[in-house]
Every structure is written in C-alpha cells, then in structure tokens.
Amino acid sequence: MGSGTVYAVQKLDAADRTAPTVVWADSDEPDEPGRNGAERRNEKGEAGAGKPGDAPALAGRLLPMPPDHAPGPDIGEFGNDYVLTGQDARAVLKESGRDLPAKQRRERERSLEKLRIEGLAGRTYHSEEHGTVTQIQIMRMKNRAGARELHQSYVQLYELLGIFRDGPRVKGHKNATCLLAPKPGKNGLTGMNCTAQVDDLLVTLLVNGAEPLPAKDMAGLMKDQLDHITAPGEYV
C-alpha cells in the first residue's frame, strides 16, 4: 500500500490466486514449530474480541467477505488474510514504497518512522463478475492525530506524483478519497486507490482489473468497509 495503485496492480496481478490463507504475524512473539496461524489466532481470541489494540480486534474491523466475492490472492508471504504488529507492519509499509522516486521514498520512510503504528490488518477479495482483485488494509495508529497525518500525507503524495485521475466519491464518508491509476498499459490493467481516516484507523482499498474498471462499484465496497467500522453488522 501507499506507493500508488500502479505498484498495487503489478503486485496483485502477479500474486498467487490460491485457497484462503490466514497469517498472523507478531514481531514480539516468535513462532513455535508446528503451530499455524489459525492456532495462534484461537489462542488470542476470535476476531473482534479483546482490547482495542489487540490483533484479533483489528482483524474484526475488516470487511467480511461479501457474497459476490471470494478470497483473493496471497500478498507475498503474508497470505490473503493477515494481521501484523510492531516492526512487521512498518517493514511492510516501507517495502511497499520501494518503487517511488528516491526523494519521495526517503521522505515517506522518515514520516513512517515518526508515526506510532500499532498494527495492520489486511484481506484480499476477488470478484469473478467484475474481474477485479481488491486488497483492503486497516492500520491502527497510536492516536487520531497520527491517522489523520498519515492520511493527509498519502493524499499529498498522490497529488505530487501527478499521474492519478479523480475517482468516484464514497457515499456517506466525506474524508474518503479515491484516485484512479493512469490509463492502462500493455497488460490492459488499471486500478484505483481509496483512503480514509476513521478515528485512529487509516483505511486503504487497492483494486485492479481490466479497463473499464467498475470504479463506482469498488467505491461501494469502500463504503461497506467504512460502514462496517463505524456500525459493525449494519452495512448492506
């Protein structure tokens, strides 16, 4: 996330579209042989339980799989349904900015070091009907000011790059921003990036597919995600 939709399109297009995979990574607790992610998840509690800062609670804020979607491809080593805490989350964010120009990459890394990132949860979604792959990530910051600062820095970065097109609005969420990638290249793929701040959370949605991209439908998916955070279980 964060390096722009073009990067996300390339990564998601090359990702392995496999069966559902759940990964729980915690830099403060070493893995034990023979224990998989699901077992560690059960020990910590079901998604949505525990204190607000707990990894399972953060995972519970992710949009449940809609009826017209299926689990999407794995994102690198983390699978297609993952939660990261501590240094792992910061490492993922730094890695995602590697394709930025050197100056912007250094500025972004300095900003990330200053921010108190407490955790990150992500999930991928595949729509056969639309031919799209979507990744949603939720990042928890130490406080609301940190989430607002990071959201603003992302929007400013995309404006600075000057290659993105204005995307559709997200109904009911004025601070959400959606930007469309440049016109598709040789592979015929394009994409869209949406970001929004909700209290101490930064929410991003990255979607890729063939032109014409169903941008309004994907903005609707972002709306469902934000509604799920603000009113769990009530989104339609």
Summarize pLDDT for 160-216 with one digit per residue, the tens.
666 678 889 999 999 899 989 887 777 788 899 999 989 889 899 999 999 889 999
Give 5-230's CATH code, choosing from 1.25.40, 3.90.550, 3.40.1000, 3.30.1460.
3.40.1000
Q: Are residues 187 and 134 in contact, defined by beta-carbon separation less than 8 angstroms? A: no
Percent of the chain at pLDDT exceeding 90? 33
Question: Rounded CA gap, 105 and 42, in Å?
Answer: 38
* Mean pLDDT, rounded, for 49-56: 51
Percent of the chain at pLDDT exceeding 70? 64
pLDDT at residue 22 in the model: 39
Domains of the chain, by residue range, sit at 5-230
β-pair partners for 175: none
β-pair partners for 127: 132
pLDDT at residue 163 in the model: 66
Whether pTM exceeds 0.85: no
pLDDT at residue 40 in the model: 38
Question: Rounded CA gap, 112 and 229, in Å?
Answer: 24
